[in-house]
């Protein structure tokens, strides 16, 4: 398995890396070598051990066994400072930026260069300018982070790593939060970086991205490194099969929808965000029993706020929501759940889950008053654990341990915990935001099947996703949202071009 | 940062690290004692003897510990809901009013065990009432509960002095305190419990409220980890956004958590007012509310940890008093310094030793 990923000498070599978390064997004797000046992709199912391996490389975790060699020299990476010193930079999936600092201040943070700020600031400004011209990473050094769109924030993360002299850049699922245009831009930057001799490791679940940008790709499965390929010599189908160990349907099959009566109806809804900006602008639509309505749109065009308003989390400024023909009186998630509305939120880390809780505690979040989980004031922990274990088995959540802290599940498995909880309630209506963000292709297939099953059993499903492919393959009708308005409706077989133009606000 | 995410086994987290912190605290206290020209080992000996050496010493230690358990639980309950209740001092003080009113009105007519349940309710109600306004302001107006509870400590102090001087004072007496409760308004001492261990309680005021405190520990454990309300409080405490998603009512949960917290703080007065002095006096709380913050912090907001931490602080209080008696060079203020060092190392510097422990653990297990 010591297939060298490029003709160049290796920038990184991992030899016999092994890591266990209690009973979970997260990395099993991993050997990997990444050539200098190349982009190397790592793919694998949720929980395969990708993030763990990168955390070992970046000094967050220590390998139980094995050796790391950087530019041919064995190194001991005991913490992230050591990783930085060894020339390794990491762009975290959840950005580690100080929101109310400027770009410049964030880049300098922890590398101020002496007690006096002024000298460092001038130097940093110059250095930032240089990085900008060398790599095409333009950002305004004086902009506040909180005012930048996610794509820009991510660029700041990259700048931070480069500023600290990184030659090796690790990106763990960097495109999960980006719009397609932002992702394209990121890839152009990565290509420039590679051409300048930097080495890049990219973790992603999107095989399209792997094919588009990597030079070599490795596949992990259940803690093992099972294959390494030259990207030019492989196909999406082969990679998918290597990942999951079986053939994967890349497109779900479904029957014609049989829409019934209107279950969810929205009339002239206006929603503002925390700063008072109108995000949902006079939106009306219906969702019928037995159909999936997809809302397509570039992230940030009001879909998130629409979903939150429908779920009772955000109070609309005006407009009406009807469930089963009856107006919803109050913005109250508990009340809406009683009316048969389930909600898979876009943001699983802040809304859908309490990361510090054990898995079984999250399996009742929002439904903890259900008498099934305990009579009166008490919780029946046995009953809760039992149903959590059933969900774990049914949704193949790994590791199958209801008592594990939720933060210790891999990203995709966390998503499955939320999906399992909401779908297993057998609701009448289902609101879904980004159901497969960070989820591997095997699990995407599984979640998509569940969503279609919901539809086929007569539920009303409203789906919001920034993945146009997902919207197109699941929805029976597609509403396109732009700048807070619904700018048009298309059938599910509408072509990508037309939808893309509508999403950009160009044609209706 | 890098070591923070590395999990350590529980026996290190809850055993070795607190113990080392304590050793450090005593080491630096020893330096202080040594600096003023006393022998630190003698001092430690006096402290331990003074707190645990005799039956009455243990009685005093447990008497203090009882108060600290109540206030420690109070702080912990609020903390689980993400609220920092600094007002246990004032809530305990006002709680004393509730306990005293019950004792004063019933002690003529019924035996103590009839008075007791009413006194528990009275103390809890008054303590809770004192927590209500800060709770309401936090829930409805977003006024930070830390600030308002501190202010309410001051208000409680003046209010109680006013009431004792102008309303409850026994005519013709100088001391601002109520009349002495009859036996029907007193909580009996736990001589029999001490006798089981072959110890004599002597004059120490160790009383039945210790048992009430232990019952409350169990109830708090039940509340936090076994009830729906506790689940809602913990969700709110750890992730306010997830609480919104789950439809957990913020206003109601905040107010209930603070009422329970205030009620527990109020019960501290059972120990001091009905157990020890048999009357309501000014400043009977004597800082127990603030010690509760340290106790809760050290006890990791868990009832078992709170019991252990409360006993530790009981030892420091009682042993410290003895120490300053035996070594006049070591004043009361010095004892406060030592207590401060314990809080400092065991509470505030909780994480100081963690990275080193992680390294040690990793080398020891060959990682
Ligand atoms: N701190 C931890 N304690 C216990 N188990 C852990 C911990 N961190 C990770 N694991 C487990 O190790 C395994 C590998 O997790 P990892 O996060 O590396 O997966 P991944 O390949 O990045 O998955 P995903 O694609 O879902 O992000 C999982 O089973 C996970 O639950
Ligand atoms: Mg991961």
| Interval A323-363: pLDDT, tens | 999 999 888 999 999 999 999 999 888 899 999 999 999 99
A155 pocket-lining for ligand 1 (C-beta < 6 Å): no
Domain with A319 in it: what CATH number?
3.40.50.300
List chain B residues with CB under 8 Å of A350. 239, 241-242
Residues A231 and A302 in one domain: no
**pLDDT band with cut points at 50, 70 and 90 for residue A83:** very high
C-alpha span between A81 and A467 (Å, rounded)? 36
Which atom of ligand 1 approaches the CA of A54 most closely?
Answer: 18
Chain A nearest-CA distance from B141, in A, is 17
Residue A494 has what pLDDT? 86
A334 pocket-lining for ligand 1 (C-beta < 6 Å): no
For A248, half-sphere exposure in the C-beta direction (CA atoms, 13 angstrom radius) is 21
| Interval B178-221: pLDDT, tens | 999 999 999 999 999 999 999 999 999 999 999 999 999 999 99
Q: Residue A71 forms beta bridges with which residues?
A: none
Helices (H), A395-506: 411-423, 441-456, 468-474, 496-503
Cα–ligand 2 centroid distance for A45 (angstroms): 9
Residues of chain B contacting A, Cβ within 8 Å: 1-3, 5-7, 226-229, 231-232, 234-235, 238-239, 241-242, 244-249, 359, 362, 366-367
Residues A314 and A351 in one domain: no
Nearest to A287 by CA among A240, A325, A243: A325
Please state the length of chain A: 508
The residue behind tokens 């499965």 is A221
What are the tokens at B191? 């001589």
**pLDDT band with cut points at 50, 70 and 90 for residue B1:** very low
Residue A4 has what pLDDT? 45
**Cα dihedral A501→A506→A507→A508 (10° resolution):** 100
Residues A95 and A197 in one domain: yes
Residue A507, pLDDT > 80, answer no
What are the tokens at A180? 């397609």
A89 pocket-lining for ligand 1 (C-beta < 6 Å): no
Of B229, B238, B247, the CB nearest to A354: B238
ipTM (interface pTM): 0.88
Residue A343 has what pLDDT? 97
What's the per-residue H, E or C state across A121-140? HHHHHHHHHHHHHHHCCCCC
Residue nearest (by alpha carbon) to ligand 1 atom 24: A46
Residue B367, pLDDT > 60, answer no
**Is residue A85, in this structure, part of any structural domain at all?**
yes
pLDDT above 90 covers a percentage of chain A that reads 61
Residues A189 and A107 in one domain: yes
Picking from A197, A226, A244, the residue at the C-terminal end of a domain is A244
Residues A208 and A94 in one domain: yes
| Interval B128-168: pLDDT, tens | 999 999 999 999 999 999 999 999 999 999 999 999 999 99
**Is residue A42, in this structure, part of any structural domain at all?**
yes
Note the Cα A447 to chain centre separation in Å. Answer: 15
| Interval A125-155: pLDDT, tens | 888 888 888 887 888 889 888 888 777 888 8
Residues A125 and A207 in one domain: yes
Residues A298 and A183 in one domain: no
What are the tokens at B353? 């030793």
Residues A412 and A325 in one domain: no
**pLDDT band with cut points at 50, 70 and 90 for residue A415:** very high
Residues A421 and A315 in one domain: no
C-alpha span between A357 and A366 (Å, rounded)? 14
A484-488, A500-504, B302-306: lowest mean pLDDT where?
Answer: A500-504
Q: Are A43 and A217 in contact (CB under 8 A)?
A: yes
List chain B residues with CB under 8 Å of A352. 242, 245
**Is residue A451, in this structure, part of any structural domain at all?**
no
Nearest to A24 by CA among A408, A395, A322, A320: A408
Residue B5 has what pLDDT? 54
| Interval A222-241: pLDDT, tens | 999 999 999 999 999 899 89
**pLDDT band with cut points at 50, 70 and 90 for residue A5:** very low
Which atom of ligand 1 approaches the CA of A53 most closely?
Answer: 18
DSSP-assigned letters across all residues of A466-495: S-HHHHHHH-SEEEEEETTEEEEEEETT--
Residue B7 has what pLDDT? 67
**Is residue A373, in this structure, part of any structural domain at all?**
yes
Cα–ligand 1 centroid distance for A216 (angstroms): 23
A176 pocket-lining for ligand 1 (C-beta < 6 Å): no
- The arithmetic mean of pLDDT across residues B2-24, rounded, is 75
**pLDDT band with cut points at 50, 70 and 90 for residue A427:** very high
**Is residue A349, in this structure, part of any structural domain at all?**
yes
What are the tokens at A490? 């298309």
Chain B nearest-CA distance from A410, in A, is 15
Looking at the CA of A436, name the nearest ligand: 1
Pairing label, strands A39-44, A199-203: parallel
Of B3, B232, B366, the CB nearest to A79: B3
Determine the 3-state secondary structure of A239 from DSSP: helix
Residue A35, pLDDT > 60, answer yes
**Is residue A176, in this structure, part of any structural domain at all?**
yes
Residue A2 has what pLDDT? 42
- The arithmetic mean of pLDDT across residues A293-318, rounded, is 93
Residue A7 has what pLDDT? 53
Q: Across the interface, do A351 and B227 touch by the CB < 8 Å criterion?
A: no
Q: Across the interface, do B226 and A60 touch by the CB < 8 Å criterion?
A: no
A442 pocket-lining for ligand 1 (C-beta < 6 Å): no
pTM of the model: 0.88
Q: Across the interface, do B245 and A368 touch by the CB < 8 Å criterion?
A: no
Residues A259 and A187 in one domain: no
**pLDDT band with cut points at 50, 70 and 90 for residue A55:** very high
Q: Which domain holds residue A288?
A: 249-340+429-436+456-508
Cα–ligand 1 centroid distance for A48 (angstroms): 7
**Is residue A298, in this structure, part of any structural domain at all?**
yes
**Strands annotated E in A71-158:** 73-75, 88-91
If you average pLDDT over every residue of chain A, what do you get? Answer: 90
Residues A319 and A240 in one domain: no
**Domain parsing of chain B, residue ranges:** 6-38+329-367, 62-323
**pLDDT band with cut points at 50, 70 and 90 for residue B14:** confident
Residue B171 has what pLDDT? 87
| Interval B229-266: pLDDT, tens | 999 999 999 999 999 999 999 999 999 999 999 999 99
Determine the 3-state secondary structure of A176 from DSSP: coil
Alpha-carbon distances of B281 from B168, B185, B288, rounded to whole Å: 10, 15, 15
| Interval B41-66: pLDDT, tens | 999 999 999 999 999 999 999 999 99
Residues A370 and A479 in one domain: no
Residue B225 φ then ψ, to 5°: -110, -5
Picking from A193, A216, A244, the residue at the C-terminal end of a domain is A244
Residue B332 has what pLDDT? 82
**Is residue A234, in this structure, part of any structural domain at all?**
yes
What are the tokens at B351? 């994480």
Q: Taking CA B355 as the corner, what is the angle to CA B354 and CA B357, rounded to the nearest 5 degrees?
A: 65
Residue B173 has what pLDDT? 85
| Interval A160-191: pLDDT, tens | 888 888 999 999 988 877 777 788 889 999 99
Domains contained in chain A, number = 3
């Amino acid at each position: 398995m010591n297939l060298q990923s490029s003709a160049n000498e290796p920038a990184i070599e991992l030899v016999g890396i092994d890591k266990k978390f209690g009973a979970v064997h997260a990395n099993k004797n991993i050997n990997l070598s990444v050539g200098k000046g190349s982009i190397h992709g790592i793919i694998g199912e949720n929980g395969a051990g990708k993030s763990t391996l990168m955390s070992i490389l970046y000094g967050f975790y220590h390998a139980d066994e094995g050796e790391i060699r950087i530019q041919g020299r064995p190194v001991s990476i005991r913490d992230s400072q050591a990783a930085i010193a060894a020339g390794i930079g990491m762009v975290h999936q959840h950005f580690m930026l100080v929101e109310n600092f400027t770009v410049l201040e964030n880049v300098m943070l922890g590398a101020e260069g002496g007690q006096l700020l002024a000298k460092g600031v001038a130097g940093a400004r110059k250095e930032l300018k240089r990085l900008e011209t060398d790599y095409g990473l333009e950002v305004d050094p004086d902009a506040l982070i909180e005012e930048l769109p996610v794509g820009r924030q991510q660029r700041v993360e990259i700048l931070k790593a480069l500023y600290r002299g990184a030659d090796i850049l690790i990106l763990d699922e960097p495109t999960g939060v980006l719009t397609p245009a932002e992702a394209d831009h990121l890839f152009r930057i990565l290509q420039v970086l590679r051409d300048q001799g930097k080495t890049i490791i990219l973790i992603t679940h999107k095989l399209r991205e792997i094919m588009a940008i990597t030079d070599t790709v490795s596949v992990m499965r259940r803690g093992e490194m099972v294959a390494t390929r030259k990207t030019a010599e492989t196909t999406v189908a082969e990679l998918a099969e290597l990942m999951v160990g079986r053939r994967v349907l890349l497109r779900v099959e479904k029957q014609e929808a049989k829409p019934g009566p209107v279950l969810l109806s929205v009339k002239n809804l206006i929603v503002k965000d925390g700063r008072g900006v109108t995000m949902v602008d006079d939106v009306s639509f219906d969702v019928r029993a037995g159909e999936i309505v997809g809302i397509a749109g570039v992230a940030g065009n009001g879909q998130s706020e629409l979903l939150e308003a429908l779920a009772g989390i955000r109070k609309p400024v005006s407009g009406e929501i009807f469930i089963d023909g009856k107006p919803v009186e109050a913005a109250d998630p508990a009340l809406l759940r009683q009316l048969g509305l389930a909600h898979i939120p876009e943001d699983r880390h802040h809304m859908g889950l309490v990361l510090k809780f054990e898995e079984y505690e999250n399996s009742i979040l929002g439904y903890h008053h259900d008498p099934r989980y305990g009579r009166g004031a008490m919780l029946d922990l046995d009953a809760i654990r039992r149903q959590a274990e059933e969900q774990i088995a049914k949704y193949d959540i790994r590791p199958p341990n209801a008592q594990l802290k939720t933060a210790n599940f891999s990203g995709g498995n966390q998503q499955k915990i939320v999906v399992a909880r909401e779908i297993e309630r057998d609701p009448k209506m289902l609101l879904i935001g980004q159901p497969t963000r960070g989820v591997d292709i095997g699990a995407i297939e599984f979640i998509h099947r569940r969503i279609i099953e919901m539809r086929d059993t007569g539920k009303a499903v409203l789906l919001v996703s920034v993945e146009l492919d997902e919207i197109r393959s699941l929805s029976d009708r597609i509403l396109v949202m732009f700048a807070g308005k619904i700018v048009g409706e298309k059938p599910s077989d509408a072509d990508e071009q037309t939808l893309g133009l509508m999403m950009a606000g160009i044609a209706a | 940062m890098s070591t923070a995410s590395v999990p350590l086994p529980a026996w290190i987290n809850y055993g070795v690290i607190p113990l080392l912190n304590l050793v450090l605290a005593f080491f630096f206290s020893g330096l202080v004692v040594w600096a003023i020209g006393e022998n630190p080992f003698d001092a430690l000996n006096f402290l331990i003897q003074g707190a645990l050496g005799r039956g009455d010493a243990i009685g005093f230690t447990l008497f203090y510990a009882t108060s600290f358990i109540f206030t420690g639980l109070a702080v912990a309950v609020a903390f689980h809901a993400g609220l920092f209740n600094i007002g246990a001092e004032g809530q305990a003080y006002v709680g004393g009013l509730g306990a005293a009113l019950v004792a004063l009105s019933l002690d003529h007519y019924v035996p103590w065990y009839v008075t007791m349940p009413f006194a528990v309710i009275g103390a809890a109600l008054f303590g809770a009432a004192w927590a209500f306004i800060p709770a309401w302001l936090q829930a409805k107006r977003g006024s930070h509960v830390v600030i308002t509870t501190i202010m309410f400590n001051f208000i409680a102090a003046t209010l109680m002095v006013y009431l004792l001087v102008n309303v409850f004072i026994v005519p013709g007496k100088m001391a601002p305190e109520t009349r002495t409760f009859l036996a029907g308004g007193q909580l009996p001492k736990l001589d029999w419990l001490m006798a089981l261990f072959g110890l004599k309680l002597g004059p120490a005021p160790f009383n039945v409220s210790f048992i009430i405190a232990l019952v409350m520990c169990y109830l708090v454990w039940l509340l936090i980890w076994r009830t729906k309300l506790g689940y809602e409080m913990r969700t709110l405490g750890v992730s306010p956004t997830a609480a919104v998603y789950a439809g957990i009512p913020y206003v109601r949960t905040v107010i209930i958590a603070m009422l329970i917290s205030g009620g527990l703080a109020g019960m501290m007065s059972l120990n001091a007012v009905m157990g020890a002095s048999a009357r309501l006096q000014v400043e009977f709380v004597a800082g127990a509310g603030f010690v509760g913050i340290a106790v809760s912090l050290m006890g990791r907001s868990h009832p078992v940890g709170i019991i252990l931490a409360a006993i530790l602080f009981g030892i420091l209080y009682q042993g410290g008093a003895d120490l300053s008696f035996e070594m006049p060079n070591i004043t009361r203020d010095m004892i406060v310094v030592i207590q401060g060092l314990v809080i400092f190392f065991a509470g505030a510097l909780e994480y100081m030793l963690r990275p080193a422990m992680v390294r040690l653990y990793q080398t020891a297990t060959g990682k």
